[in-house]
Structure 1
């Protein structure tokens, strides 16, 4: 599949049919460890299905952030930088 100069790709018909994608449908590309996943955005999805899909996305992201042994607090401090406004003794 080739990307055009406008960043567009053609989704093969068998995939469009399988996902129920037609003109005016919305899709999302979700980054994964393997590359990217095409997800059809369906407004008529049940709450249970939306929850399952969300859990699948979260499961795909599990373990993708290596904190190098930092705790969550250490990581937040690293992100924010030193807090000079705090009186640390």
Structure 2
């Protein structure tokens, strides 16, 4: 595929069918942390950002193990 001088590109019919893009569908471009550009139906980018945030939080969950009990941590915060 080639981008025109106006920045336009034709999305192949097979891709439009697979993505569910119909004539008049609003799309948005989302650039991921991996540098990959994704074309999504408008509004889906927010869902993707939320999923990425959830995944990041899940990766961090439990990583701050201090070896202290909850009671010991609470005692430290009260000093």
TM-score by length of 1: 0.47
User: Aligned-pair RMSD on alpha carbons?
Assistant: 3.0
Question: After the TM superposition, which parts of structure 1 deviate over 4 Å for at least 4 consecutive aligned residues?
Answer: 49-52, 57-60
Aligned residue pairs total 55
Instruction: Report the CA distance shift for 1:56/1:12 in structure 2 as closer, same or farther (over 3 A).
Output: farther
Look up the match of 2:39. 38
Q: More helix per residue: 1 or 2? A: 2
> Which is greater in Rg?
2
SS at match of 2:8: coil
Q: Secondary structure at the match of 1:30?
A: strand
Q: Distance in 2 between matches of 1:7 and 1:53?
A: 25
Identify the residue that residue 23 of structure 1 maps to in structure 2.
23
Structure 1 residue runs of 5 or longer lacking an equivalent are: 43-48, 63-89
